[in-house]
Structure 1
Amino acid sequence: MALAEEVDAWLDGKSKELSTRSLKLIHSILNRSVRKAMVRDKVRRNIVELCDIPEGREGRPSKALTLAQAKAVLDAAREAEPRIGAYVVLSLATGARTEELRALIWDHVVAYVEDAERWVPVKEAGWEHRDYAIHVWRSVRKKGDTKTKKSRRTLKLPQLCVEALQRLQERQDVSRASAGEAWVERGLVFCTRTGGPQTAHNVRRDFRKVLDKAGLVGAEWAPREMRHSFVSVLSDADIPIEDISRLVGHRSTAVTETVYRLQIRPVMEKGATAMDRIFAGENPSDQER
């Protein structure tokens, strides 16, 4: 069994290449593993508990598009090849995670058929209805599960998403015919030219080209920041944090506030406004008379 000093030295070495958050996760995994070993009498004590977690590398902070930038990105996405164009539009306008969109299947893109009073996959229902939604029920994570149970959700689609998906389906039909026997049908919304799954690398590469065309430096942005931008735009539009939390699939508003604290606009403004008036010599009650 390693000594505490050896574990400390190992963690210090990892601190040169990993963030503090990653180091905390590693420490936690080690701690749990040794505890289980103690239960089975494999070790006598848990030396990991004696070890400190060093400061790791400073991670790249996430950022969000401004409203003007978001509009420019959407315009560029509409002009882009439908496969990446639709991906960018859905990322920015629904807040879905990149691993959720890469696993999205056409059976989970649905339209509300008024006559039948039920939601039907668009491949059966077509594009002549008023309301559309996506079932965010899968991801490219292990076993295909979403990040958490709360992440499994259904999101109504704004019209710009409906238009992007319709263009994508039309282009995909052309690709399927062109590929012939090379096409492998997996039912994926976002796929390669032969029906295969998109890799994170391919999505990131094409995504950055769209941002370059929008006047931004694509290399400075990551696909996950469209989700941050979704939160930021809704927050600036006075959408309650509770609603934003449900839309992005968080367990609670605490998760949303912690992960997206830089994108959430402060909403408790009344007290500050009143105090400014009071200490500026203006009585709030005078405003009401």
Structure 2
Amino acid sequence: MTEQSKKPPRRSRGEGGVYWNEKRQRWVATRVVAYDDRGKEVRKTGYGKSRSAAIDAVRRLVRAYENGVPPGAEKLTVRDAVDDWLRYGQGQVDESTVKTRAYLSAHVVDGLGDVLLRKLTTKHVEAFLAELAKTRSTRTVADVKAQFNSAIKRAVARDLIERNVVEFAVTPRGRAGRKSKSLTERQALDVLELTKGHWMYPYIVVSMLVGIRTEEMRALTWNHVDLDSNPPAIEVWRSVRTSGDTKTKKSRRTLAIPDVAVQALRRRRREQEADRARAGSDWAGTGHVFTASVGTPLDAANVRRAFRSALKLVPSVDAKEWTPPELRHSFVSLMSAGGAAVEQIAHVVGHSDTSTTERIYRHELRPVIHTGATFMNEFAGMEVVNPEWHMDPLFKMPGNGQVRQADDGG
């Protein structure tokens, strides 16, 4: 005797109606959850291949109703949640940030877009991230997860689902990303010398010799450049961010600029005046230092293309391998090679602490680090004259003033 032909057991209180639907070939469970203004029943209906499955289905619907989940939410997919967040959940952010988030979120839609929100599990998320990690860097994998997490968090806040399963997923390690690098001293001199004929030369000089961020360079205006003061200086008070503010409070700074940069900026002013004359009424007149031929500010793509075009004039570097932000890395590394303390460098480049300067920006330009060997040569060559020789007690034998040799244990 089939399950549907059996006489169903007596329903428990609050279970609602359960019956076999011959047309659908499914068990159907129904339950009244409320009454509308006219006294009409508001019912929830669940289906299943077995009686217990149908009851479980209607229980989930009732629970969702009681938790305030909107009607139709059970049909929403991951794609719907991501689209909703991209459209309404980002707040006031830069256009470039919107594009970046859309790019990262596209990975989520491609991988899990058709999965129903209410059926999304941590296992789904971790499998998706593991697959992504095969072809993307660790940073990209983490960024994709962050965008996914924001979308699902918004869905939870709107009562579309009960919990954020993305938050509990483990982020795998992806492929090693491209590390930023610095021009060597020789390469830096070649760039300064051989790009003089390129219109990008003033940008390169200021970026490399003053250490300003690319987002600060593009936002720099002439009213923040004083070439006639003593010393000549640039007020780094703005960036291309939506707010117009610099990245951090310490990034807002006024910097003295070297003579080569002063000459480059004077040249830039002359070239811009020539551009203005040629453009005539088409001139935009934004007041920016670095502009296109009609006075409009440069965007990141403009700068990147022009920078690589200029580097093609320098045989000692591969233009395709360098990006504009690495001029700032070069500035930090050249200052370090010149003997500047890391605290000084961090202050100049506007870092809130020295750890960022040391971990990310400062690259060792010397092929061999001599400091340790030089110190130890001097140490080993010293003569022990008397027992009172002022040396760390760790290296002295009690009472005889001789240097203690290391034991077998190191």
TM range (shorter): 0.7 to 0.9
Aligned to 2:266, which of 119, 142, 166? 166
* Contact 1:228/1:263, CA 8 A, preserved across alignment: no
Moved more, 7-16 or 203-212: 7-16
User: Alpha carbons of 1:174 and 1:55: their partners in 2 closer, same or farther (altered >3 Å)?
Assistant: same
Question: Is 1:283 aligned to residue 401 of structure 2?
Answer: no
Shift of 1:272: 6.1
d(CA) in 2 for partners of 1:171, 1:194:
12
User: In 2, distance between residues paired with 1:272 and 1:284?
Assistant: 18
The 2-side partners of 1:42 and 1:272 are apart by: 64
Give the equivalent residue in structure 1 for 2:247: 147
Equivalence map 1:42-191=2 (5 Å): 43-81=161-199, 84-111=200-227, 127=228, 129-191=229-291
**What does the per-residue CA deviation read over 1:85-105, in whole Å, with 9 as the maximum and x for residues that have no partner?**
110001100111111101111
Aligned to 2:305: 205
Q: Secondary structure at the match of 2:302?
A: helix
Q: Is the 8 A contact 1:231 1:263 kept in 2?
A: no
Give the TM-score normalised by structure 1. 0.81
Higher helix share: 1
Residue 263 of structure 2 aligns to which amino acid in structure 1? E
SS in 1 for 2:307: helix
In structure 2, distance between residues paired with 1:171 and 1:34? 51
RMSD (Å) for aligned C-alpha atoms: 2.9
The answer to whether the 8 Å contact 2:184/2:365 transfers is no
- 1:42: how far off? 6.0
What amino acid is the match of 2:165? I
Checking the alignment, whether the CA contact within 8 Å between 1:277 and 1:284 is kept in structure 2 is: no
Give the direction of change, closer, same or farther, for the CA distance of 1:202–1:31 in structure 2 (3 Å limit): closer
- Residues matched between the structures, number: 266
Residues 77 and 86 of structure 1 are in contact (CA less than 8 Å); yes or no, is this contact kept in structure 2? Answer: no
| Superposed displacement of residue 17, structure 1 | 4.7
SS of residue matched to 1:87: helix
Letter in 1 for 2:254: T
Does the C-alpha gap of structure 1 residues 260 and 32 become closer, same or farther in structure 2, counting only changes over 3 Å? same
8 A Cα contact 2:332 2:362, kept in partner: no
1:219 counterpart = 2:335: no
Identity rate, percent: 42
2:352 aligned partner, one-letter code: R
**CA contact under 8 A between 1:257 and 1:264: conserved in structure 2?**
no
In structure 2, stretches of 5+ residues that fail to align are: 1-116, 390-410
User: Any conservation in 1 of the 2:129–2:171 contact (CA below 8 Å)?
Assistant: yes
Structure 1 stretches lacking a partner, 5+ long: 112-126
Largest Rg, 1 or 2: 2
Given candidates 234, 247, 250, the residue that maps to 2:351 is: 250
CA contact under 8 A between 2:185 and 2:365: conserved in structure 1? no
